[in-house]
Amino acid sequence: MSGVELLVGAAASGTAGTAGFTAATGGLFGAGGAVTAGASFSTLATAVSVIGAIQGATSTAAAADYNRKLAIQNAIASNAAAAQQVERQRRLSLKRAGANRAHDPDKLDLLEDSAIEEELAIQDTLHAGATQFVGFGNNANLERSKARNARVGGGVTAFGTLLGGAGERFAT
């Protein structure tokens, strides 16, 4: 009689089903086949939970790492965009100053006021770019922390699950 026949034939009697499964698995799951189906499934469930915790943490950490890289790229891009905007503003400022001189070269007050306003606009643009740069940098730091916390949390969850499963396994 094979192990399957033992399991199927003994399943009708209730308690004999476990004995049949134990006999059918002799040597596969421990010394003398003393592991029951419940203990084997508990061990398997623990292993799956541990793998799931590690995989979940790995996925979360990978997403946070990706978001961190995007934040760094955005910071660099915002800095470059601010620099280009400043150059555009400076060129327009020179054009306007030239046009003002051509219309009324005697209005030095107007030229000075115009130059001051143009420089303030440039400084505003530089400040906005720097603020965006810092904001993206802060996001990058936050995402790095999320990745680290996901890895640590996943490891702790996996370890806790493994300990819980081991406790259940050896309690039976």
Tell me: the pLDDT tens digits for 125-161?
999 999 999 999 999 999 999 999 999 999 899 888 8
Q: Which amino acid is at 120?
A: L
Mean pLDDT within 38-52: 79
For the segment 23-38, the average pLDDT, to the nearest whole number, is 49
Q: What is the pTM of this model?
A: 0.58
Residues near 104 by beta carbon (within 8 Å), at least 6 away in sequence: 110
- Residue 37: pLDDT band (50, 70, 90) is low
| Span of 5-19, 38-52, 67-81 with lowest mean pLDDT | 5-19
User: How far is 19 from 22, CA to CA, in rounded Å?
Assistant: 5
